[in-house]
Structures are given as structure tokens and as C-alpha cells.
């Protein structure tokens, strides 16, 4: 008796059929989200402080808003460069 509705394929996941992961694009998107959250939170804090009259140093605003996200981006690029140093490069040797 045929088994209707049951697929005729195997459910075991083949190692060579795993989906590739876009680490570079994914980490860049996470960095964008974290940076946007950082900038929005500090912007709200600085606006609230300005409304109360507490904040008077306007030169610190760009450093507080954009300094840590840029530093995190540079750290990520440096970490990528460092981890690329561990990859084995196969050269084609012709004799």
C-alpha cells in the first residue's frame, strides 16, 4: 500500500549541502544596529540634558555620539585582519 503524503526523500542533512553563512554581511548589519542604538540613546540623553540646562560642552557631542561606533568598526576590521593571518594559503606549485 503506497504511503500517500509522505515525501520520498531522506531527511538526513548532508554535510555538503549546508547553507553558506555570510559572516561579513551579518556582522556589518549587527554593527549598524548597535551603532544606531548607541547614537539614538545618547542623542536622547543629550536632548534631555539640554532641556534641563545641564549640558554646555558642545565639542564633546560628536565624540560621544560617533566615537565608540567608529572604534568598534576599526576593531572589527583589525580582528578580521588578524584572523586572516591564521588561514593556510595554498599556492599552486608547478614543477
Domain ranges of the chain: 31-83
Grid cell of 39 as nine digits: 547614537
- Per the prediction, the chain carries an average pLDDT of 79
Would you say residue 43 has pLDDT above 80?
yes
Grid cell of 88 as nine digits: 593556510
Report, as an integer, the average pLDDT of 14-20: 63
The CA radius of gyration of the chain, in Å to the nearest whole number, is 25
pLDDT for 75 equals: 92
Give the rounded percent of residues in the chain with a pLDDT score beyond 70: 74
Q: Structure pTM? A: 0.58
What confidence tens digit (pLDDT) does each residue in 61-76 have?
Answer: 888 888 899 999 999 8
Amino acid at each position: 500500500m503506497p504511503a500517500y503524503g509522505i515525501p520520498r526523500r531522506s531527511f538526513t542533512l548532508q554535510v555538503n549541502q549546508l547553507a553558506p553563512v555570510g559572516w561579513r554581511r551579518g556582522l556589518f548589519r549587527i554593527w549598524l544596529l548597535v551603532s544606531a542604538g548607541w547614537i539614538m540613546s545618547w542623542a536622547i540623553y543629550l536632548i534631555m540634558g539640554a532641556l534641563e540646562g545641564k549640558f554646555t560642552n558642545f565639542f564633546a557631542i560628536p565624540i560621544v555620539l560617533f566615537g565608540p561606533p567608529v572604534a568598534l568598526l576599526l576593531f572589527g576590521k583589525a580582528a578580521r585582519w588578524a584572523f586572516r593571518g591564521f588561514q593556510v594559503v595554498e599556492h599552486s606549485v608547478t614543477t
